[in-house]
């Protein structure tokens, strides 16, 4: 099934230089790194099969979902059909809860039937890393097929050598009359970088390659990202971030198929929230390169049938932490640490029971 589209992108960046900033805060030209997917410092140092989609490639593709971004990588396919709301990633034949999804190092554990699992809009991304193959030794359960690690932008990506910067970007796709507006504002105050970014996407039903309209493929997305990067000194960095996204639209209960008597049309509203704290300590010591991550994540999905109004409510909250350290000695690099999280599920259906228990807790 092929889709036809014309993409138009307009971007207006702006940068301002304000005097009086600290001298060490201006020089932060960082090389492309691969941290979250491999827990390594650079993809060149990793023997694992990993692909990195850069911010430049993201801009060129103008994809409307993360699965679309990675669809052209070797051994990676998009599943779920052409509707953005239900697209997922399959790595070497494995998908669902066998491919671990990360956003800024935070696990995304929402998996429930035919419901979607990828909610982050590509307009907020700095890069995407795809690690192919079993990675349970690094991430524990859920990484049998691989890892899809999505890394959002930081203030430094907009500021460079300036103390104030940002951009406004407007995109258009002719297929579905899809309009996307993205804006970001960044500021540097002493040794602290601040970022506020948001997006709004609105599209109608898509047109298939044969000219037919794909009914119930229209959707609306909006979201916000806020970050604070505190460069404590040359050895320590602390990062606080908060992200919220919201999506709504009408879609078949199984988004990969058309509406039928057994595949009801539903109105779906999805809200995702994520808050995290990262602390990185990297002194001039080959034995110490430590990163600590504390996080909270929530995905809440409300659905109602258009035919009879019966509702489905699903909510998963994840509370987790991870600490790891990299030590190098005698030409050997050793990565070790601890990882743990707790998932809490709340589910409710009007009029009948559902396969999921109403409440459940998982500790890992």
Q: How far is CA 106 from the centre of its chain?
A: 9
The helix (run of H) or strand (run of E) holding residue 228 is strand 219-231
Residues 6+ positions from 112 with CB-CB distance below 8 Å: 301, 314, 316, 347, 356
Burial of 182 by CB count in 10 Å (0-12 exposed, 13-18 middle, 19+ buried)? buried
Give, for all 364 residues of the chain, the pLDDT tens digit.
Answer: 445 444 454 555 544 433 333 333 444 444 454 555 556 545 555 556 889 999 999 988 888 899 999 999 999 999 888 888 888 999 999 988 889 999 999 999 988 777 888 999 999 999 999 999 876 567 767 788 899 999 999 999 999 889 999 999 998 888 878 899 999 999 999 999 999 999 999 988 888 888 888 888 888 999 999 999 999 999 999 999 999 999 998 888 777 677 665 678 889 999 999 999 999 999 999 999 999 999 999 999 999 988 887 888 999 999 999 999 999 988 899 999 999 999 999 988 876 666 667 788 888 8
CB atoms inside a 10 Å sphere around CB 297: 23
Is domain 37-363 annotated with CATH 2.170.130.10?
yes
3-class DSSP state of 85: helix
C-alpha to C-alpha distance for 178 and 296, rounded to whole angstroms: 32
* DSSP string over 31-58: PP---TTTSSS-GGG--SEEEEE-HHHH
Q: How many CB atoms lie within 10 A of CB 3?
A: 15
- Token pair, residue 239, equals 């990062």
Q: How far is CA 51 from the centre of its chain?
A: 16
Residue written as tokens 């960044």? 186
């Amino acid at each position: 099934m092929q889709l036809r589209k014309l993409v138009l992108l307009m971007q207006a960046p702006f940068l301002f230089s304000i005097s009086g900033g600290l001298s060490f805060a201006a020089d932060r030209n960082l090389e492309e790194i691969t941290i979250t997917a491999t827990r390594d410092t650079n993809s060149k140092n990793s023997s694992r099969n990993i692909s990195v989609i850069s911010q430049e490639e993201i801009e060129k593709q103008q994809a409307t979902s993360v699965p679309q971004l990675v669809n052209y990588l070797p051994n990676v396919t998009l599943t779920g059909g052409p509707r953005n709301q239900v697209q997922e990633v399959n790595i070497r034949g494995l998908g669902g809860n066998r491919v671990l999804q990360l956003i800024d190092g935070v696990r995304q554990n929402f998996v429930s039937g035919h419901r979607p699992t990828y909610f982050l809009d590509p307009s907020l991304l700095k890069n995407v890393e795809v690690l192919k193959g079993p990675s349970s030794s690094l991430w524990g359960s859920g990484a049998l097929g691989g890892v899809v690690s999505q890394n959002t932008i930081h203030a430094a990506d907009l500021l460079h050598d300036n103390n104030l910067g940002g951009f406004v970007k407007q995109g258009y796709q002719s297929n579905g009359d899809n309009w996307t507006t993205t804006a970001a504002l960044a500021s540097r105050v002493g040794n602290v970088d601040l970022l506020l970014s948001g997006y709004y996407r609105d599209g109608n039903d898509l047109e298939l390659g044969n000219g037919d309209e794909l009914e119930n493929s229209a959707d609306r997305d909006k979201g916000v990202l806020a970050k604070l990067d505190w460069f404590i000194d040359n050895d320590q960095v602390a990062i606080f971030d908060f992200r919220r996204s919201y999506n709504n639209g009408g879609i078949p209960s199984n988004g990969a198929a058309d509406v039928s008597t057994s595949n009801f049309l539903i109105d779906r509203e999805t809200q995702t929230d994520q808050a995290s704290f990262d602390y990185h300590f990297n002194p001039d010591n080959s034995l110490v390169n430590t990163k600590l991550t504390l996080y909270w994540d929530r995905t809440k999905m409300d659905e109602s049938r258009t035919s009879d109004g019966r509702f489905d409510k699903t909510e998963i909250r994840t509370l987790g932490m991870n600490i790891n350290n990299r030590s190098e000695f005698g030409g050997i690099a050793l990565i070790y640490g601890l990882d743990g999280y707790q998932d809490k599920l709340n589910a409710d259906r009007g009029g009948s029971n559902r396969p999921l228990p109403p409440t459940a807790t998982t500790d890992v």
